[in-house]
């Protein structure tokens, strides 16, 4: 049997993250992917319905409803296992092309909670794709660490979203640990290279404009942002994205920063307008605070920024160094100010040919091929 046939049918236990779906949607059509979106029964009882996006050819998304991994792990595992057995027999709209009736050759797990479920699929290749540093979120830390250790021991290969997370895992398992960071899509690269119409919402904001896109929360270095906005009052600091409600002390600081005369919070905007915002910024800014959590993340915004022709300024989180020299890194307020002055005085030259070649190698399609090649080369124990 050819190696490709051995992994032609994949089941992905989705962590309900858009970038997870982007990775597996980018798999070549020779790989059939059944992507399970797991929801709690309470979510369903409240009258909500799953948002099951349309995927590419030979990719199918389906819902699984469970009572909850934290409180009912065994029952949730039994329900999920039954759903996956049913799914394996059913296949897709075209069962012949999607592999209906064949067992899954590969099971991919994206959360530590799936450890018990993972034990039940010893006849398949088992992959742990850690797309976030879960133990740093402060949710049931002891249980998460124990379950993640089980995943590291059970699975045949581990993919980690950041270099620092991969380093952590290699100290905890003898299994192969592969660095597989986030990416962007070829479709987004195409959109970024087209001319966007000026956005009216930006028309009255003075230049120069330093902009940031993404969810706004405690992960930002608000002390740094406040200091920069104070030091550079003639710079407009623009934030695009919704504010996640945090504890009072954090919200107080966020509100204080957004009340500054040269800081502009534009709220949540249509995703289709993202190219227009990025093209309008004079500098794209990644303001994540440097800490153990953020050092183990792979910020999607950096890949969005790399698709532009704009200078990029980031705090000194670990993954920013993976993108040098395309990303300029500020260690503190003084070095960030020095970088901005250099950019605004036109003394910072961007090599667009090298940047475009770099981002072309960092698409979801490239990531999918990387993962597929590694899984195809694996031998079951």
Confidence of residue 375 (pLDDT cuts 50, 70, 90): very high
For residue 238, pLDDT over 50 is answered with yes
Residue 14: pLDDT band with limits 50, 70, 90: confident
Separation between Cα atoms, residue 65 and residue 44, nearest integer Å = 8
Which region among 135-139, 251-255, 350-354 has the lowest average model confidence (pLDDT)?
A: 135-139
Residue 3 has a pLDDT of 41
Beta bridge partners of 265: 239
The 3-state DSSP class for residue 248 equals: helix
pLDDT of residue 47: 63
Distance CA 87, CA 37 (A): 13
CB 12 within 8 A of CB 36: yes
Asked if 337 and 231 touch (Cβ cutoff 8 Å), the reply is yes
Choose among 246, 231, 184: nearest CA to 337. 231
Tally the C-alpha atoms within 13 A of residue 369's C-alpha that lie toward its C-beta: 6
Q: Which of 54-58, 257-261, 343-347 has the highest mean pLDDT?
A: 257-261
Question: Residue holding tokens 């950096």?
Answer: 302
Strand partners, 294: none
Examine the pLDDT at 51 and tell me if it is beyond 80.
no
Residue from 19, 82, 18, 26 nearest 57 by CA: 26
In degrees to the nearest 10, what's the CA dihedral of 232, 238, 241, 247?
Answer: 30
The average pLDDT across 92-112 equals: 71
pLDDT score recorded for residue 88: 84
Nearest to 229 by CA among 220, 242, 241: 220
pLDDT for residue 94 = 46
> Cα(99)–Cα(104) distance, rounded to whole angstroms?
9
Residue 34 pairs in a beta bridge with 11, 60
SS3 10: strand
Token digits of residue 103: 């067992």
Q: Which two tokens stand for residue 226?
A: 């406040």
**Please, which pLDDT band fits residue 289 given cuts at 50, 70 and 90?**
very high
Predicted local distance difference test score (pLDDT) of residue 100 = 54
Read off the pLDDT band of 24 (50, 70, 90): very high
Residue 73: the pLDDT is 79
Check residue 381 and give its pLDDT: 63
Task: Kindly list the structural domains of the chain, giving each domain's residue range(s) and its CATH number in brackets, ordered by start.
Answer: 3-183+363-377 (3.40.50.2000), 186-360 (3.40.50.2000)
């Amino acid at each position: 049997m050819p190696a490709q046939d051995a992994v032609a049918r994949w089941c992905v236990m989705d962590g309900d993250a858009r970038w997870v779906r982007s990775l597996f949607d980018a798999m070549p059509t020779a790989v059939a992917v059944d992507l399970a979106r797991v929801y709690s029964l309470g979510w369903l009882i409240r009258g909500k319905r799953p948002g099951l996006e349309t995927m590419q050819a030979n990719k199918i998304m389906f819902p699984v409803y469970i009572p909850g991994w934290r409180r009912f792990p065994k029952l949730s595992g039994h329900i999920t296992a039954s759903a996956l057995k049913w799914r394996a027999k059913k296949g897709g709209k075209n069962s012949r092309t999607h592999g209906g009736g064949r067992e899954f050759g590969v099971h991919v797990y994206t959360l530590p909670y799936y450890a018990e479920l993972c034990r039940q699929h010893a006849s398949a290749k088992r992959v742990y794709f850690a797309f976030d540093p879960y133990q740093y979120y402060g949710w049931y830390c002891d249980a998460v660490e124990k379950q993640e250790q089980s995943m590291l021991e059970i699975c045949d290969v581990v993919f980690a979203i950041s270099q620092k997370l991969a380093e952590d895992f290699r100290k905890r398992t003898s299994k192969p640990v592969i660095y597989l960071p986030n990416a962007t899509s070829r479709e987004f690269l195409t959109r970024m290279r087209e001319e966007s119409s000026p956005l009216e919402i930006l028309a009255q904001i003075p230049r120069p404009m330093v902009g940031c896109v993404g969810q706004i929360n405690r992960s930002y270095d608000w002390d740094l942002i406040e200091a920069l906005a104070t030091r550079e009052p003639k710079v407009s600091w623009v934030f695009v994205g919704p504010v996640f409600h945090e504890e009072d002390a954090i919200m107080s600081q966020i509100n204080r920063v957004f009340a500054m005369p040269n800081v502009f919070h534009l709220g949540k905007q249509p995703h289709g307008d993202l190219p227009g915002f990025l093209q309008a910024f004079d500098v794209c800014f990644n303001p994540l605070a440097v800490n153990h959590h953020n050092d183990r993340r792979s910020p999607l915004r950096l890949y969005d920024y790399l698709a532009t022709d704009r200078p990029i300024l980031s705090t000194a989180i670990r993954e920013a160094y993976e993108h040098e020299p395309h990303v300029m890194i500020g260690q503190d307020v003084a070095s960030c100010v020095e970088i901005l002055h250099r950019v605004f005085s036109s003394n910072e030259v961007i090599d667009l040919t090298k940047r475009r070649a770099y981002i072309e190698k960092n698409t979801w399609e490239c990531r999918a091929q990387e993962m597929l090649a590694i899984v195809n080369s694996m031998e079951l124990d």
